[in-house]
Amino acid sequence: MSEFVDSIYQIHNNPFVLAPLFVEFFRHIPPKPKNILLAYLVLPLVLHEDSKQWLFRAKTTSSIHTFSNKKENLFGLQERIQLYKDLTNQCIQYAIDNQMIKISRNLIVEVLTTENKTVENLNKSLKASSNLHKIVRDLDVVAIYRLLGVKEL
């Protein structure tokens, strides 16, 4: 039974399928030093149902403060970041290997391709990933993690 559960996990949490979520996020975020660290927020926020729904409806007037007002968005975020850490690394590596993104000297992610090949079930997550930049656009990386209550990567 354990092998079956592991197989299902690998099918649903596949770097080939999830890498476009990162490309979509970095396509919209302005380049800032060390913005690659924001990648560790993508999967925990856009795959979690409560935060995905909120981000899906985010507007240009949305901010990290309005996002954090709904406690369901932040509940368990630290644990979700740890859970998705290895998968995030695999997705980033896949995106680099397939020349979707490149990482500059200052750890700034630059998108090389805007072509999105995603699974239809991830359309809401893709839109949420696209909207994630709206709540983190004006802040530096450390402030974003601090405001979200994340203490470590």
Question: For 18-57, what is each residue's pLDDT tens digit?
Answer: 889 999 999 988 888 999 999 999 999 999 999 999 999 9
Query: Contact, 18 vs 87, CB < 8 A?
Result: yes
Return the closest-CA partner of residue 113 out of 102, 124, 122: 102
CB 81 within 8 A of CB 40: yes
What is the tens place of the pLDDT at every residue in 97-134?
999 999 998 999 999 987 666 666 778 888 898 899 88
**Measured distance CA(8)–CA(48) in Å, rounded:** 18
Residue 135, by phi and psi: left (phi above 0), alpha (psi -120 to 50) or beta? alpha
Domain ranges in the chain? 2-148
Give yes or no for residue 92 having a pLDDT over 90: yes
pTM confidence score: 0.87
Percentage of residues in the chain with pLDDT exceeding 70? 87
Q: Does pLDDT of 7 surpass 50?
A: no
